[in-house]
Structure 1
Protein backbone atom coordinates (compact mmCIF):
# COMPACT_ATOMS: atom_id res chain seq x y z
CA UNK A 1 0.00 0.00 0.00
CA UNK A 2 1.42 3.36 -1.06
CA UNK A 3 1.75 5.86 1.78
CA UNK A 4 0.20 9.28 1.28
CA UNK A 5 2.75 12.09 1.07
CA UNK A 6 2.98 14.44 4.03
CA UNK A 7 0.73 17.45 3.69
CA UNK A 8 2.43 20.80 3.25
CA UNK A 9 1.21 23.48 5.65
CA UNK A 10 0.85 26.99 4.24
CA UNK A 11 1.62 29.47 6.99
CA UNK A 12 0.00 32.86 7.46
CA UNK A 13 3.05 34.57 5.95
CA UNK A 14 2.98 32.26 2.94
CA UNK A 15 -0.73 32.94 2.40
CA UNK A 16 -0.06 36.65 1.99
CA UNK A 17 3.01 36.02 -0.16
CA UNK A 18 1.18 33.73 -2.57
CA UNK A 19 -2.08 35.67 -3.00
CA UNK A 20 -2.37 39.43 -2.50
CA UNK A 21 -5.69 41.26 -1.87
CA UNK A 22 -6.16 42.22 -5.51
CA UNK A 23 -5.59 38.66 -6.69
CA UNK A 24 -7.98 37.30 -4.05
CA UNK A 25 -10.63 39.76 -5.20
CA UNK A 26 -10.21 38.65 -8.81
CA UNK A 27 -10.35 34.93 -7.87
CA UNK A 28 -13.72 35.50 -6.21
CA UNK A 29 -15.06 37.72 -8.95
CA UNK A 30 -14.05 35.26 -11.67
CA UNK A 31 -15.68 32.38 -9.80
CA UNK A 32 -19.01 34.21 -10.02
CA UNK A 33 -18.46 35.29 -13.63
CA UNK A 34 -17.80 31.64 -14.49
CA UNK A 35 -21.32 30.81 -13.34
CA UNK A 36 -20.83 29.39 -9.84
CA UNK A 37 -24.06 29.60 -7.85
CA UNK A 38 -23.42 30.30 -4.13
CA UNK A 39 -26.90 28.94 -3.33
CA UNK A 40 -25.48 25.44 -3.85
CA UNK A 41 -22.93 25.86 -1.06
CA UNK A 42 -23.60 23.69 2.03
CA UNK A 43 -24.79 25.60 5.07
CA UNK A 44 -22.24 26.35 7.76
CA UNK A 45 -22.38 23.82 10.62
CA UNK A 46 -22.09 24.91 14.25
CA UNK A 47 -20.84 22.78 17.14
CA UNK A 48 -21.22 24.53 20.49
CA UNK A 49 -19.24 23.92 23.65
CA UNK A 50 -18.48 25.85 26.83
CA UNK A 51 -15.76 27.95 25.17
CA UNK A 52 -17.74 28.98 22.10
CA UNK A 53 -18.41 27.22 18.83
CA UNK A 54 -16.64 25.22 16.16
CA UNK A 55 -17.65 26.12 12.60
CA UNK A 56 -17.37 23.64 9.73
CA UNK A 57 -17.48 25.10 6.22
CA UNK A 58 -17.16 22.64 3.29
CA UNK A 59 -17.42 23.44 -0.41
CA UNK A 60 -16.68 21.99 -3.86
CA UNK A 61 -15.51 24.08 -6.80
CA UNK A 62 -14.14 22.95 -10.16
CA UNK A 63 -11.15 20.67 -9.48
CA UNK A 64 -11.08 21.24 -5.73
CA UNK A 65 -12.90 20.34 -2.53
CA UNK A 66 -12.12 21.93 0.82
CA UNK A 67 -13.27 22.51 4.35
CA UNK A 68 -12.48 25.15 6.94
CA UNK A 69 -12.65 24.32 10.64
CA UNK A 70 -12.78 27.48 12.72
CA UNK A 71 -12.97 27.85 16.48
CA UNK A 72 -14.69 30.98 17.79
CA UNK A 73 -13.96 31.49 21.49
CA UNK A 74 -15.11 34.92 22.76
CA UNK A 75 -13.01 34.78 25.95
CA UNK A 76 -9.76 33.91 24.19
CA UNK A 77 -8.42 37.50 24.07
CA UNK A 78 -8.35 37.49 27.90
CA UNK A 79 -6.05 34.48 27.63
CA UNK A 80 -3.80 36.15 25.10
CA UNK A 81 -5.24 34.07 22.24
CA UNK A 82 -7.10 35.11 19.07
CA UNK A 83 -10.90 35.06 19.23
CA UNK A 84 -10.96 33.06 15.97
CA UNK A 85 -8.49 30.31 15.08
CA UNK A 86 -8.83 28.04 12.08
CA UNK A 87 -7.27 25.54 9.72
CA UNK A 88 -8.20 24.84 6.10
CA UNK A 89 -7.83 21.45 4.41
CA UNK A 90 -7.78 21.37 0.61
CA UNK A 91 -8.51 18.17 -1.35
CA UNK A 92 -8.05 17.14 -4.96
CA UNK A 93 -11.56 17.03 -6.42
CA UNK A 94 -10.88 14.03 -8.66
CA UNK A 95 -9.52 11.69 -5.97
CA UNK A 96 -10.44 13.44 -2.70
CA UNK A 97 -6.79 13.14 -1.74
CA UNK A 98 -5.74 15.85 0.74
CA UNK A 99 -3.32 18.27 -0.91
CA UNK A 100 -2.66 21.17 1.45
CA UNK A 101 -3.36 22.52 4.89
CA UNK A 102 -3.60 26.30 5.14
CA UNK A 103 -3.62 28.70 8.05
CA UNK A 104 -7.38 29.27 8.26
CA UNK A 105 -7.26 32.57 10.12
CA UNK A 106 -4.98 34.08 7.48
CA UNK A 107 -7.20 32.70 4.73
CA UNK A 108 -10.28 34.24 6.37
CA UNK A 109 -8.49 37.56 6.85
CA UNK A 110 -7.77 37.55 3.11
CA UNK A 111 -11.01 36.26 1.58
CA UNK A 112 -13.52 38.24 3.65
CA UNK A 113 -12.13 41.67 2.70
CA UNK A 114 -11.69 40.44 -0.87
CA UNK A 115 -15.38 39.52 -1.00
CA UNK A 116 -16.30 42.97 0.32
CA UNK A 117 -14.01 44.51 -2.30
CA UNK A 118 -15.84 42.59 -5.05
CA UNK A 119 -19.06 44.21 -3.83
CA UNK A 120 -17.48 47.64 -3.32
CA UNK A 121 -16.10 47.68 -6.86
CA UNK A 122 -19.72 47.67 -8.06
CA UNK A 123 -21.57 49.48 -5.25
CA UNK A 124 -19.23 52.35 -4.31
CA UNK A 125 -18.56 55.64 -6.02
CA UNK A 126 -16.04 55.09 -8.84
CA UNK A 127 -13.49 57.26 -7.01
CA UNK A 128 -14.44 57.33 -3.31
CA UNK A 129 -12.52 59.66 -1.02
CA UNK A 130 -13.37 58.66 2.57
CA UNK A 131 -13.45 55.25 4.24
CA UNK A 132 -14.87 54.92 7.76
CA UNK A 133 -14.23 51.58 9.50
CA UNK A 134 -16.02 50.41 12.64
CA UNK A 135 -13.82 47.83 14.36
CA UNK A 136 -10.12 47.45 15.05
CA UNK A 137 -9.42 43.72 14.71
CA UNK A 138 -7.91 41.68 11.86
CA UNK A 139 -10.97 42.09 9.65
CA UNK A 140 -10.97 45.86 10.08
CA UNK A 141 -7.31 46.04 9.12
CA UNK A 142 -7.81 43.57 6.27
CA UNK A 143 -10.67 45.61 4.85
CA UNK A 144 -8.59 48.78 4.87
CA UNK A 145 -5.84 46.97 2.96
CA UNK A 146 -8.25 45.48 0.41
CA UNK A 147 -10.20 48.69 -0.15
CA UNK A 148 -7.17 50.97 -0.42
CA UNK A 149 -5.73 48.51 -2.93
CA UNK A 150 -8.91 48.95 -4.96
CA UNK A 151 -9.31 52.69 -4.30
CA UNK A 152 -5.84 54.20 -3.63
CA UNK A 153 -7.13 57.74 -2.96
CA UNK A 154 -9.09 56.78 0.16
CA UNK A 155 -8.52 58.55 3.46
CA UNK A 156 -9.13 56.17 6.36
CA UNK A 157 -10.70 56.66 9.79
CA UNK A 158 -11.00 53.91 12.42
CA UNK A 159 -13.76 53.80 15.05
CA UNK A 160 -13.79 51.34 17.96
CA UNK A 161 -14.89 51.13 21.58
CA UNK A 162 -11.35 50.97 22.95
CA UNK A 163 -8.79 53.68 22.16
CA UNK A 164 -5.98 51.15 22.48
CA UNK A 165 -7.65 49.00 19.80
CA UNK A 166 -7.80 51.95 17.44
CA UNK A 167 -4.15 52.75 18.13
CA UNK A 168 -3.12 49.15 17.48
CA UNK A 169 -4.99 49.05 14.16
CA UNK A 170 -3.48 52.36 13.08
CA UNK A 171 -0.03 51.02 13.98
CA UNK A 172 -0.53 47.86 11.90
CA UNK A 173 -1.69 49.89 8.93
CA UNK A 174 1.22 52.31 9.30
CA UNK A 175 3.61 49.35 9.12
CA UNK A 176 1.97 48.47 5.79
CA UNK A 177 2.41 52.01 4.50
CA UNK A 178 -1.27 52.96 4.91
CA UNK A 179 -2.14 56.14 6.80
CA UNK A 180 -5.18 56.04 9.08
CA UNK A 181 -6.54 58.20 11.88
CA UNK A 182 -8.91 57.75 14.81
CA UNK A 183 -12.47 58.62 13.84
CA UNK A 184 -15.98 58.76 15.25
CA UNK A 185 -19.54 57.90 14.27
CA UNK A 186 -20.08 61.62 13.61
CA UNK A 187 -18.19 61.10 10.34
CA UNK A 188 -20.86 58.79 8.88
CA UNK A 189 -22.50 61.51 6.70
CA UNK A 190 -19.11 62.34 5.15
CA UNK A 191 -18.13 58.77 4.29
CA UNK A 192 -18.23 57.33 0.79
CA UNK A 193 -17.42 53.85 2.11
CA UNK A 194 -18.32 52.44 5.54
CA UNK A 195 -17.19 49.07 6.89
CA UNK A 196 -18.62 47.43 10.01
CA UNK A 197 -16.30 44.68 11.26
CA UNK A 198 -17.30 44.41 14.90
CA UNK A 199 -18.59 41.82 17.34
CA UNK A 200 -21.51 44.09 18.30
CA UNK A 201 -25.02 42.68 18.62
CA UNK A 202 -26.62 46.13 18.21
CA UNK A 203 -26.36 48.78 15.46
CA UNK A 204 -23.08 50.68 15.68
CA UNK A 205 -24.28 53.95 14.12
CA UNK A 206 -27.45 55.82 13.12
CA UNK A 207 -28.33 54.66 9.62
CA UNK A 208 -30.26 57.83 8.80
CA UNK A 209 -26.93 59.64 8.44
CA UNK A 210 -25.59 57.57 5.53
CA UNK A 211 -25.71 59.65 2.36
CA UNK A 212 -27.39 58.55 -0.86
CA UNK A 213 -24.92 56.73 -3.12
CA UNK A 214 -22.62 55.73 -0.27
CA UNK A 215 -21.60 52.08 0.16
CA UNK A 216 -21.81 50.19 3.46
CA UNK A 217 -20.10 46.81 3.89
CA UNK A 218 -21.34 44.88 6.94
CA UNK A 219 -19.41 41.71 7.74
CA UNK A 220 -19.14 41.49 11.52
CA UNK A 221 -21.81 38.90 12.36
CA UNK A 222 -23.09 35.52 11.22
CA UNK A 223 -26.05 35.17 13.58
CA UNK A 224 -29.72 35.93 12.88
CA UNK A 225 -29.97 37.54 16.33
CA UNK A 226 -27.07 40.02 15.93
CA UNK A 227 -26.74 43.05 13.70
CA UNK A 228 -24.46 46.02 13.10
CA UNK A 229 -26.86 48.04 10.89
CA UNK A 230 -30.22 49.41 11.93
CA UNK A 231 -33.52 48.85 10.15
CA UNK A 232 -33.64 52.51 9.12
CA UNK A 233 -30.58 52.02 6.91
CA UNK A 234 -31.63 48.60 5.65
CA UNK A 235 -35.08 49.89 4.73
CA UNK A 236 -33.85 52.86 2.71
CA UNK A 237 -30.99 51.11 0.89
CA UNK A 238 -30.28 48.86 -2.05
CA UNK A 239 -29.30 45.73 -0.07
CA UNK A 240 -27.16 43.02 -1.67
CA UNK A 241 -26.43 39.71 0.06
CA UNK A 242 -24.03 36.87 -0.70
CA UNK A 243 -26.92 34.42 -1.08
CA UNK A 244 -30.55 34.74 0.02
CA UNK A 245 -30.68 31.40 1.83
CA UNK A 246 -27.53 32.25 3.78
CA UNK A 247 -28.91 35.70 4.61
CA UNK A 248 -32.11 34.16 5.97
CA UNK A 249 -30.12 31.77 8.19
CA UNK A 250 -27.26 33.95 9.36
CA UNK A 251 -27.62 37.66 8.74
CA UNK A 252 -29.30 39.46 11.61
CA UNK A 253 -29.02 42.80 9.81
CA UNK A 254 -31.35 41.35 7.17
CA UNK A 255 -33.51 39.09 9.35
CA UNK A 256 -34.29 41.70 12.01
CA UNK A 257 -35.05 44.44 9.47
CA UNK A 258 -37.41 42.06 7.67
CA UNK A 259 -39.05 41.12 10.97
CA UNK A 260 -39.65 44.80 11.67
CA UNK A 261 -41.32 45.22 8.28
CA UNK A 262 -38.55 47.41 6.84
CA UNK A 263 -37.10 44.98 4.30
CA UNK A 264 -38.60 42.47 1.85
CA UNK A 265 -36.45 39.32 1.72
CA UNK A 266 -37.95 38.13 -1.54
CA UNK A 267 -36.53 41.04 -3.52
CA UNK A 268 -32.94 40.97 -2.30
CA UNK A 269 -30.34 40.62 -5.09
CA UNK A 270 -27.16 38.65 -4.49
CA UNK A 271 -23.49 39.18 -5.18
CA UNK A 272 -23.66 37.17 -8.39
CA UNK A 273 -26.41 39.48 -9.69
CA UNK A 274 -24.14 42.43 -8.97
CA UNK A 275 -20.95 41.01 -10.51
CA UNK A 276 -22.74 39.70 -13.60
CA UNK A 277 -24.42 43.04 -14.25
CA UNK A 278 -28.01 42.07 -13.52
CA UNK A 279 -28.23 44.97 -11.05
CA UNK A 280 -26.21 48.15 -10.56
CA UNK A 281 -25.50 50.55 -7.73
CA UNK A 282 -28.04 53.07 -6.57
CA UNK A 283 -27.31 56.79 -6.51
CA UNK A 284 -30.65 57.87 -4.99
CA UNK A 285 -30.20 55.83 -1.80
CA UNK A 286 -27.38 54.07 0.08
CA UNK A 287 -25.95 50.74 -1.08
CA UNK A 288 -25.47 47.96 1.50
CA UNK A 289 -23.60 44.69 1.12
CA UNK A 290 -24.24 42.25 3.95
CA UNK A 291 -21.83 39.34 4.13
CA UNK A 292 -21.48 36.59 6.70
CA UNK A 293 -18.79 34.56 4.93
CA UNK A 294 -19.39 31.49 2.78
CA UNK A 295 -17.36 28.35 2.21
CA UNK A 296 -16.97 28.84 -1.55
CA UNK A 297 -15.03 32.03 -0.86
CA UNK A 298 -12.46 30.15 1.23
CA UNK A 299 -12.17 27.49 -1.46
CA UNK A 300 -11.77 29.89 -4.37
CA UNK A 301 -8.86 31.63 -2.64
CA UNK A 302 -7.39 28.36 -1.28
CA UNK A 303 -7.37 26.93 -4.80
CA UNK A 304 -5.51 30.05 -5.96
CA UNK A 305 -2.99 29.55 -3.18
CA UNK A 306 -2.51 25.89 -4.14
CA UNK A 307 -1.99 26.69 -7.81
CA UNK A 308 0.64 29.28 -6.99
CA UNK A 309 2.31 27.11 -4.36
CA UNK A 310 2.66 24.20 -6.79
CA UNK A 311 4.11 26.53 -9.39
CA UNK A 312 6.74 27.72 -6.92
CA UNK A 313 7.94 24.21 -6.00
Structure 2
Protein backbone atom coordinates (compact mmCIF):
# COMPACT_ATOMS: atom_id res chain seq x y z
CA UNK A 1 0.00 0.00 0.00
CA UNK A 2 1.37 3.41 -0.97
CA UNK A 3 1.89 5.89 1.86
CA UNK A 4 0.98 9.51 1.20
CA UNK A 5 3.65 11.66 2.88
CA UNK A 6 2.28 15.11 3.62
CA UNK A 7 4.08 18.43 3.73
CA UNK A 8 7.63 19.50 2.99
CA UNK A 9 10.75 18.01 4.52
CA UNK A 10 12.50 20.18 7.12
CA UNK A 11 15.21 22.31 5.53
CA UNK A 12 18.03 21.34 7.88
CA UNK A 13 17.23 17.64 7.42
CA UNK A 14 17.27 18.05 3.63
CA UNK A 15 20.64 19.84 3.73
CA UNK A 16 22.07 17.07 5.89
CA UNK A 17 20.70 14.28 3.69
CA UNK A 18 22.11 15.80 0.49
CA UNK A 19 25.52 16.41 2.02
CA UNK A 20 25.59 12.86 3.43
CA UNK A 21 24.69 11.34 0.05
CA UNK A 22 27.61 13.08 -1.66
CA UNK A 23 29.99 12.12 1.13
CA UNK A 24 28.63 8.57 0.84
CA UNK A 25 29.65 8.22 -2.79
CA UNK A 26 26.64 9.31 -4.83
CA UNK A 27 27.81 10.35 -8.30
CA UNK A 28 25.60 13.05 -9.89
CA UNK A 29 27.27 12.44 -13.26
CA UNK A 30 25.78 8.92 -13.35
CA UNK A 31 22.15 10.05 -13.29
CA UNK A 32 19.98 9.91 -16.42
CA UNK A 33 19.16 13.18 -18.21
CA UNK A 34 15.92 14.95 -17.42
CA UNK A 35 13.22 14.28 -20.02
CA UNK A 36 11.52 17.50 -21.10
CA UNK A 37 8.53 17.23 -23.42
CA UNK A 38 7.10 20.44 -24.92
CA UNK A 39 3.31 20.71 -24.83
CA UNK A 40 1.12 23.59 -26.09
CA UNK A 41 1.08 25.45 -22.75
CA UNK A 42 4.49 24.56 -21.35
CA UNK A 43 6.55 21.49 -20.54
CA UNK A 44 6.21 18.06 -18.96
CA UNK A 45 9.33 16.96 -17.05
CA UNK A 46 10.22 13.39 -16.05
CA UNK A 47 13.08 12.88 -13.55
CA UNK A 48 13.95 9.27 -12.52
CA UNK A 49 16.76 8.27 -10.15
CA UNK A 50 18.17 5.34 -8.15
CA UNK A 51 20.44 5.47 -5.12
CA UNK A 52 20.99 3.15 -2.19
CA UNK A 53 17.78 1.52 -0.95
CA UNK A 54 15.44 3.59 -3.09
CA UNK A 55 14.41 4.54 -6.58
CA UNK A 56 11.94 7.20 -7.58
CA UNK A 57 10.57 9.48 -10.26
CA UNK A 58 9.25 13.02 -10.25
CA UNK A 59 6.64 14.04 -12.78
CA UNK A 60 6.28 17.82 -13.11
CA UNK A 61 4.41 20.23 -15.35
CA UNK A 62 5.69 23.75 -16.07
CA UNK A 63 3.02 26.20 -17.26
CA UNK A 64 4.45 29.73 -17.65
CA UNK A 65 1.00 31.36 -18.01
CA UNK A 66 -0.36 29.89 -14.77
CA UNK A 67 0.63 32.74 -12.40
CA UNK A 68 -1.70 35.06 -14.37
CA UNK A 69 -4.46 32.54 -13.60
CA UNK A 70 -3.46 32.51 -9.93
CA UNK A 71 -2.24 28.94 -10.34
CA UNK A 72 1.24 27.52 -9.62
CA UNK A 73 3.74 27.72 -12.47
CA UNK A 74 5.13 24.30 -11.48
CA UNK A 75 2.98 21.35 -10.35
CA UNK A 76 3.68 17.67 -9.85
CA UNK A 77 4.20 14.63 -7.62
CA UNK A 78 6.99 12.30 -6.55
CA UNK A 79 6.69 8.50 -6.52
CA UNK A 80 9.19 6.79 -4.20
CA UNK A 81 10.01 3.10 -4.85
CA UNK A 82 11.84 0.35 -3.03
CA UNK A 83 15.26 0.11 -4.67
CA UNK A 84 15.38 -3.70 -4.66
CA UNK A 85 11.90 -4.65 -5.85
CA UNK A 86 10.81 -1.32 -7.41
CA UNK A 87 7.60 -1.60 -5.40
CA UNK A 88 5.92 1.80 -4.96
CA UNK A 89 6.26 2.96 -1.36
CA UNK A 90 5.12 6.57 -1.10
CA UNK A 91 3.64 9.53 -2.92
CA UNK A 92 4.97 12.98 -2.03
CA UNK A 93 4.06 16.51 -3.03
CA UNK A 94 6.53 17.17 -5.85
CA UNK A 95 6.36 20.94 -5.52
CA UNK A 96 6.94 21.00 -1.76
CA UNK A 97 9.83 18.61 -2.35
CA UNK A 98 11.31 20.75 -5.16
CA UNK A 99 11.01 23.92 -3.10
CA UNK A 100 13.09 22.43 -0.30
CA UNK A 101 15.61 20.32 -2.23
CA UNK A 102 16.64 23.14 -4.59
CA UNK A 103 17.46 25.51 -1.77
CA UNK A 104 19.03 22.72 0.27
CA UNK A 105 21.46 21.92 -2.57
CA UNK A 106 22.35 25.62 -2.76
CA UNK A 107 22.99 25.61 0.98
CA UNK A 108 25.29 22.58 0.70
CA UNK A 109 27.31 24.41 -1.95
CA UNK A 110 27.24 27.76 -0.16
CA UNK A 111 28.39 26.14 3.07
CA UNK A 112 31.52 24.97 1.26
CA UNK A 113 32.04 28.18 -0.75
CA UNK A 114 30.97 31.22 1.28
CA UNK A 115 33.05 33.12 3.79
CA UNK A 116 32.38 31.79 7.33
CA UNK A 117 31.08 35.17 8.48
CA UNK A 118 28.98 35.92 5.38
CA UNK A 119 26.09 38.01 6.68
CA UNK A 120 24.77 40.14 3.78
CA UNK A 121 22.44 38.32 1.38
CA UNK A 122 20.95 39.75 -1.83
CA UNK A 123 18.03 37.73 -3.21
CA UNK A 124 16.66 38.15 -6.72
CA UNK A 125 13.06 36.96 -6.89
CA UNK A 126 9.99 36.91 -4.66
CA UNK A 127 8.57 33.45 -5.28
CA UNK A 128 8.77 30.12 -3.43
CA UNK A 129 12.42 29.52 -4.33
CA UNK A 130 13.46 32.94 -3.08
CA UNK A 131 11.68 32.22 0.21
CA UNK A 132 13.29 28.77 0.52
CA UNK A 133 16.74 30.16 -0.23
CA UNK A 134 16.50 32.75 2.52
CA UNK A 135 15.62 29.93 4.92
CA UNK A 136 18.31 27.57 3.65
CA UNK A 137 21.14 30.10 3.61
CA UNK A 138 20.22 31.17 7.12
CA UNK A 139 20.83 27.55 8.13
CA UNK A 140 24.48 27.66 7.03
CA UNK A 141 25.58 31.28 7.52
CA UNK A 142 24.92 34.04 10.11
CA UNK A 143 22.72 36.15 7.82
CA UNK A 144 21.96 39.52 9.43
CA UNK A 145 20.91 41.58 6.39
CA UNK A 146 18.68 40.46 3.52
CA UNK A 147 18.06 42.62 0.45
CA UNK A 148 15.31 41.62 -2.00
CA UNK A 149 15.27 42.64 -5.67
CA UNK A 150 12.07 41.96 -7.64
CA UNK A 151 10.20 43.10 -10.74
CA UNK A 152 6.85 43.87 -9.09
CA UNK A 153 7.13 46.60 -6.46
CA UNK A 154 4.10 45.50 -4.43
CA UNK A 155 5.10 41.83 -4.31
CA UNK A 156 8.68 42.77 -3.52
CA UNK A 157 7.63 44.90 -0.54
CA UNK A 158 5.33 42.14 0.74
CA UNK A 159 8.05 39.53 0.38
CA UNK A 160 10.61 41.74 2.11
CA UNK A 161 8.23 42.22 5.04
CA UNK A 162 7.62 38.47 5.22
CA UNK A 163 11.30 37.44 5.40
CA UNK A 164 12.60 40.42 7.39
CA UNK A 165 14.40 42.09 4.52
CA UNK A 166 14.62 45.47 2.82
CA UNK A 167 13.84 46.24 -0.81
CA UNK A 168 16.93 46.89 -2.89
CA UNK A 169 18.30 47.21 -6.41
CA UNK A 170 20.52 45.10 -8.64
CA UNK A 171 23.62 47.14 -7.77
CA UNK A 172 23.28 46.03 -4.13
CA UNK A 173 25.36 43.00 -5.19
CA UNK A 174 28.38 45.29 -4.85
CA UNK A 175 28.07 44.92 -1.05
CA UNK A 176 26.88 41.31 -0.93
CA UNK A 177 28.51 38.35 0.77
CA UNK A 178 25.92 36.01 -0.75
CA UNK A 179 23.71 36.40 -3.83
CA UNK A 180 20.78 34.08 -4.58
CA UNK A 181 19.26 34.21 -8.08
CA UNK A 182 15.82 32.60 -7.91
CA UNK A 183 13.92 33.98 -10.90
CA UNK A 184 12.45 33.02 -14.26
CA UNK A 185 14.62 35.65 -15.98
CA UNK A 186 16.19 34.74 -19.32
CA UNK A 187 18.77 37.53 -19.30
CA UNK A 188 21.34 38.53 -16.63
CA UNK A 189 20.02 40.10 -13.46
CA UNK A 190 23.10 42.19 -12.55
CA UNK A 191 26.45 43.40 -13.81
CA UNK A 192 29.00 40.74 -12.93
CA UNK A 193 31.77 43.30 -12.59
CA UNK A 194 30.07 44.56 -9.42
CA UNK A 195 30.55 41.31 -7.48
CA UNK A 196 32.98 41.61 -4.58
CA UNK A 197 35.91 39.21 -4.81
CA UNK A 198 34.77 37.44 -1.64
CA UNK A 199 31.12 36.96 -2.73
CA UNK A 200 29.36 33.65 -3.38
CA UNK A 201 26.51 33.44 -5.90
CA UNK A 202 23.94 30.65 -6.23
CA UNK A 203 21.86 30.65 -9.42
CA UNK A 204 18.92 28.24 -9.67
CA UNK A 205 16.30 29.87 -11.86
CA UNK A 206 16.79 28.18 -15.23
CA UNK A 207 17.44 24.75 -16.70
CA UNK A 208 17.48 25.77 -20.35
CA UNK A 209 20.62 26.37 -22.45
CA UNK A 210 19.39 29.73 -23.78
CA UNK A 211 18.31 31.27 -20.46
CA UNK A 212 20.55 32.72 -17.77
CA UNK A 213 20.50 34.88 -14.64
CA UNK A 214 24.27 35.52 -14.48
CA UNK A 215 26.34 37.22 -17.18
CA UNK A 216 29.61 36.00 -18.71
CA UNK A 217 31.56 38.61 -16.73
CA UNK A 218 30.51 36.99 -13.45
CA UNK A 219 31.29 33.53 -14.86
CA UNK A 220 34.71 34.60 -16.13
CA UNK A 221 35.64 36.16 -12.77
CA UNK A 222 34.42 33.24 -10.65
CA UNK A 223 35.32 29.75 -9.59
CA UNK A 224 32.29 27.92 -11.02
CA UNK A 225 30.75 24.89 -9.29
CA UNK A 226 28.07 22.71 -10.91
CA UNK A 227 26.08 19.67 -9.80
CA UNK A 228 27.37 17.67 -12.76
CA UNK A 229 29.42 18.89 -15.70
CA UNK A 230 27.31 16.87 -18.14
CA UNK A 231 24.07 18.44 -16.89
CA UNK A 232 25.56 21.95 -16.87
CA UNK A 233 26.77 21.68 -20.45
CA UNK A 234 23.36 20.37 -21.48
CA UNK A 235 21.01 22.65 -19.54
CA UNK A 236 22.72 25.56 -17.76
CA UNK A 237 22.38 28.63 -19.94
CA UNK A 238 24.52 30.60 -17.49
CA UNK A 239 27.37 28.23 -18.37
CA UNK A 240 26.53 27.40 -21.99
CA UNK A 241 26.28 31.04 -23.07
CA UNK A 242 29.44 31.98 -21.18
CA UNK A 243 31.29 29.15 -22.92
CA UNK A 244 30.05 30.39 -26.28
CA UNK A 245 31.36 33.85 -25.41
CA UNK A 246 34.76 32.41 -24.48
CA UNK A 247 34.36 33.42 -20.83
CA UNK A 248 35.24 30.03 -19.37
CA UNK A 249 36.47 26.55 -20.21
CA UNK A 250 34.56 23.30 -19.50
CA UNK A 251 37.70 21.92 -17.86
CA UNK A 252 37.56 24.63 -15.20
CA UNK A 253 34.12 23.61 -13.91
CA UNK A 254 34.19 22.17 -10.37
CA UNK A 255 31.88 19.28 -9.49
CA UNK A 256 29.77 19.69 -6.36
CA UNK A 257 30.70 16.21 -5.14
CA UNK A 258 34.41 17.07 -5.33
CA UNK A 259 33.75 20.31 -3.46
CA UNK A 260 31.86 18.57 -0.64
CA UNK A 261 34.50 15.83 -0.39
CA UNK A 262 37.27 18.41 -0.05
CA UNK A 263 38.92 17.53 -3.37
CA UNK A 264 38.40 20.88 -5.11
CA UNK A 265 40.90 23.73 -5.24
CA UNK A 266 39.32 27.14 -4.54
CA UNK A 267 41.63 29.96 -5.65
CA UNK A 268 41.59 32.97 -3.30
CA UNK A 269 40.54 36.44 -4.40
CA UNK A 270 37.80 35.32 -6.81
CA UNK A 271 34.01 35.23 -6.49
CA UNK A 272 32.45 31.78 -6.32
CA UNK A 273 29.44 30.74 -8.36
CA UNK A 274 27.25 27.68 -7.90
CA UNK A 275 25.01 27.05 -10.90
CA UNK A 276 22.22 24.53 -10.29
CA UNK A 277 19.82 23.11 -12.85
CA UNK A 278 18.12 20.74 -10.40
CA UNK A 279 18.72 17.00 -10.73
CA UNK A 280 16.72 13.85 -10.03
CA UNK A 281 19.15 12.48 -7.43
CA UNK A 282 18.37 15.47 -5.22
CA UNK A 283 14.64 14.73 -5.24
CA UNK A 284 15.29 11.07 -4.45
CA UNK A 285 17.63 11.72 -1.55
CA UNK A 286 15.33 14.25 0.10
CA UNK A 287 12.16 12.22 -0.60
CA UNK A 288 13.71 9.12 0.94
CA UNK A 289 14.81 11.02 4.04
CA UNK A 290 11.34 12.55 4.42
CA UNK A 291 9.69 9.14 3.98
CA UNK A 292 11.93 7.53 6.57
CA UNK A 293 11.30 10.34 9.05
CA UNK A 294 7.52 10.05 8.53
CA UNK A 295 7.63 6.27 8.93
CA UNK A 296 9.69 6.54 12.12
Global fold match (TM > 0.5):
yes
Deviation string 1:179-221 (CA, Å, 9 cap, x unpaired) is 2111111211100000101101100000000011210001100
Secondary structure of the equivalent of 1:74? coil
Distance in 1 between residues matched to 2:248 and 2:78, nearest whole Å: 35
Superposition deviation, residue 153 in structure 1: 3.5
Of 188, 198, 204, the residue aligned with 2:189 is 204
Q: Which runs of 5+ in 1 are unaligned?
A: 174-178
Between the aligned partners of 1:125 and 1:220, the Cα distance in structure 2 is: 23
Q: Which moved more, 1:206-215 or 1:146-155?
A: 146-155
Counterpart of 1:9? 4
1:23 Cα deviation (Å)?
A: 1.2
Distance 1:304 1:272, change over 3 A: same
Q: Go from structure 1 to structure 2 and tell me whether the alpha carbon gap of 1:211 and 1:224 turns closer, same or farther (over 3 Å shift).
A: same
Number of residue pairs matched?
A: 296
CA shift digits 1:80-132 (9 cap, x unpaired): 10101110000011111101100000000000000000000011010112000
Partner of 1:50: 40
Question: How far apart, in 2, do the equivalents of 1:118 and 1:297 lie?
Answer: 12
Does residue 1:102 correspond to 2:84, yes or no? no
Which stretch of the first structure deviates more once superposed, 268-277 or 180-189?
180-189
The residue aligned with 1:260 is 245
Equivalent positions of 1:156-235 (< 5 A) are 156-173=146-163, 179-235=164-220
Question: C-alpha distance in 2, partners of 1:282/1:56?
Answer: 37
Shift of 1:280: 4.4
CA RMSD of aligned residues (A): 1.1
Q: Of the candidates 139, 143, 147, which is equivalent to residue 137 of structure 2?
A: 147
Unaligned 5+ segments in structure 2 are none
Q: Deviations over 1:194-250 (max 9, x none)?
A: 010110110000000001121000110000000111001101110011100000110
1:274-303 deviations in whole A, cap 9, x for unaligned?
A: 000011444311000000100000000000
CA distance in 1, matches of 2:142, 2:262: 24
TM-score by length of 1: 0.92
C-alpha contact (below 8 Å) 1:202/1:226 kept by paired residues: yes
Displaced runs of 4 or more, over 4 A: none
TM-score, L = length of structure 2? 0.98
